[in-house]
């Protein structure tokens, strides 16, 4: 994906909009192009808007895609549907499926499949508004997301009222989400409560990292329980109290236990050199509307988990860690 990185001169007088500055420099990008093609805008490593004000010494990173389709079209793609009514569709997303159209993945996404399943027409390209607003309107019904290589439960809203309700539930952290993952290494205790800030890794913009003793970034909290250990591998149950990008992957790495098959936060594994990301969204507990009781949804573990655990059982003896809880990390 094309990108541009600009450093604002130290003696620059602040107050100019980001898009105005980018349009004014040699080899920059005009403002209308920024609106339609920009996929991510960072100011000093943090998400920014086109209208953000800049100062001397600031670093601007922009990723864009020129080949943006005119419309997001319905596509007949098979889905594993866990539950469906007039308001929601709960899907067990397969590994490798992108949640919504974005740079490099304009077709074959969950949104394309849902438009077809719901009998909806194509979504026209949105050209008015900021980059984040434009992208949001290309995601009809999507109230949360899973990474491309994470499998499991995702709930999608069929109408605006349900979408607003579910968004409010996610924002208020009233929806319980549980994941299963297989990691390389053993956690410091059988169960724990990880609390850190999560910031973008300035050395590798594709990654994030967990940091403490700072207000920088966004607060993230993850609860984990080690189900079993097999040699240097562990099977973990994880519940997230916040929903940050790559949160579980970042926090497992922070514990010294990167997820098996994680090409961004881990390393190639000798026993499983071809492993894909071993992270699955297994359970969700949610109220579907203000008058409803909490409802539990579950997605069966994919075959790759059974294959991996069976291989571990052949090579190692199953162990259970002593129940000692570490101090919370703040």
- Active-site residues, by number, are 147
Judged by DSSP in three states, 19 sits in helix
- Tokens (6 digits) for 147: 């990474």
Q: Which residues contact 185 (CB under 8 A, 6 or more apart)?
A: 232, 233, 234, 255, 256, 257, 258
Selection from 198, 330, 206, 195 nearest residue 265 by Cα: 206
User: 277 to each of 53, 59, 60, 107, 281, how far by Cα in Å?
Assistant: 39, 32, 31, 22, 12
Per-residue burial over 272-300, b = 16 or more CB atoms within 10 Å of its CB, e = otherwise? beebbbbbbbbbbebebeeeeeeeebebe
- Tokens (6 digits) for 103: 């740079």
Residue 66 half-sphere exposure, CB side, CA atoms within 13 Å? 4
- Tokens (6 digits) for 253: 């790495």
User: Checking phi first, is residue 291 left (phi over 0); if not, alpha (psi -120 to 50) or beta?
Assistant: alpha
Indicate if the alpha-carbon torsion angle 319, 322, 323, 329 is positive or negative.
negative
Q: Report the distance separating Cα 30 and Cα 24, nearest Å.
A: 8
Selection from 210, 199, 197, 213 nearest residue 252 by Cα: 210
What are the two backbone dihedrals, phi and then psi, of residue 154, each rounded to the nearest 5 degrees?
-145, 130
């Amino acid at each position: 994906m094309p990108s541009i990185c600009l450093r604002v001169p130290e003696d620059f007088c602040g107050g100019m909009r980001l898009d105005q500055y980018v349009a004014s420099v040699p080899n920059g990008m005009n403002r209308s192009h920024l609106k339609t093609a920009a996929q991510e805008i960072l100011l000093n490593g943090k998400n920014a808007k086109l209208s953000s004000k800049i100062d001397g010494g600031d670093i601007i990173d922009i990723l864009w895609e020129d080949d943006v389709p005119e419309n997001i079209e319905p596509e007949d793609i098979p889905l594993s549907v866990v539950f469906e009514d007039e308001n929601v569709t709960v899907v067990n997303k397969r590994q490798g499926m992108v949640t919504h159209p974005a740079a490099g993945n304009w077709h074959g996404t969950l949104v394309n499949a849902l438009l077809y399943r719901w009998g909806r027409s194509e979504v026209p390209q949105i050209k008015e508004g900021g980059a984040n607003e434009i992208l949001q309107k290309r995601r009809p019904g999507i109230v949360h997301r899973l990474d491309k290589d994470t499998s499991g439960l995702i709930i999608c809203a069929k109408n605006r009222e349900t979408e607003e309700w579910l968004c409010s539930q996610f924002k208020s952290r009233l929806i319980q989400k549980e994941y299963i993952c297989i990691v390389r290494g053993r956690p410091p205790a059988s169960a724990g409560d990880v609390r850190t800030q999560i910031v973008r890794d300035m050395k590798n913009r594709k990654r994030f990292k967990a940091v403490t003793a700072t207000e920088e970034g966004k607060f993230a909290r993850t609860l984990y329980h080690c189900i079993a250990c097999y040699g240097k591998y562990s099977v973990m149950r994880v519940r997230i109290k916040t929903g940050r990008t790559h949160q579980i992957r970042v926090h497992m790495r922070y514990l010294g236990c990167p997820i098996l098959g994680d090409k961004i936060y881990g390393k190639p594994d000798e026993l499983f050199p071809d492993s894909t990301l071993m992270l699955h969204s297994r359970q969700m507990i949610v109220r579907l509307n203000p008058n409803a009781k909490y409802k539990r949804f579950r997605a069966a573990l994919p075959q790759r988990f059974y294959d991996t655990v069976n291989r571990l059982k052949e090579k190692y003896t199953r162990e259970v860690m002593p129940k000692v809880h570490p101090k919370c990390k703040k």
